[in-house]
Structure 1
């Protein structure tokens, strides 16, 4: 078997919960996250005219919060995709302190900016992260999103 993929807890419409394999995660245009999941079920397969019970993978998508992490699972290997139109602009917030000005880069739907912020495009956002006076927001993690777009 190849590298093990992490499991997540999924709440079904009737309230039951199952554990499913997380294949990837996608941020949609509205900022919501949808997970691609796999669950292996037993299904009837006809082999040479005889019915047999065999494992069959079911792949589907479900949103957060229907999908919840499981403590102890390592999700660092899960691919995070961003819808192409989900990030057209990024926010750069200026934070002033006694030691100087820091520019904090945020995703456009982040609720963390409290100071003056400016909208910038993809190239400017990526370039900003290379500057000494710029840091990514620790809540919305724009650096992770930029890696998937550049």
Structure 2
């Protein structure tokens, strides 16, 4: 387990689940994400808020919280009935927004340029696109062209 980069107040909004510790104890944690591995087993990223002591030279010790984050597979972490887990599941592949739409660098090419998410050329991206939207935009070269740097067309042509 490592110290989390998630704010304690943000974690309190996530759904709860039961985590079984190696010695058999069960604790309630906040689940921040759920994702399947290659075998189809679901892993839950969780945050566990623990009490601890903060030492201050002027005021002495005071109670505070320490946020641990980790990940565990389904049988070790169990959902709690009545909790809403829809927010932690990734959308289906056809609904994922994996492309960026930015104004074309040279208006003579077309109006827009389609980029990969991590493309440095897409700093002025106006919105994100799904696979279907990106293919639709690239179908008409007068509307959008693929970025010549990140080449999204090499991935999209296989879809």
* Residue 88 of structure 2 corresponds to residue 56 of structure 1: no
Among 47, 52, 55, the alignment partner of 1:46 is 55
Q: 29-38 vs 44-53, which deviates more?
A: 44-53
* Residue 80 of structure 2 corresponds to residue 70 of structure 1: yes
| Structure-2-length-normalised TM-score | 0.48
More strand, by proportion? 1
- Matched with 1:13 is 22
Unaligned runs of 5+ in 2: 1-8, 99-130, 132-159
1:134-149 mapped onto 2 (5 Å cutoff): 144-148=92-96
- 1:39-95 C-alpha deviation (Å, 9 max, x unpaired): 110112222263322111111111111111100001111143xxxxxxxxxxxxxxx
Q: Secondary structure at the match of 1:41?
A: strand
Q: 1:10 to 1:146 in 2, by over 3 A?
A: farther
Which protein shows a greater Rg?
2
| Structure-1-length-normalised TM-score | 0.51
Counterparts of 1:17 and 1:146, CA distance in 2: 37
- 1:10-30 C-alpha deviation (Å, 9 max, x unpaired): 111111111100000121122
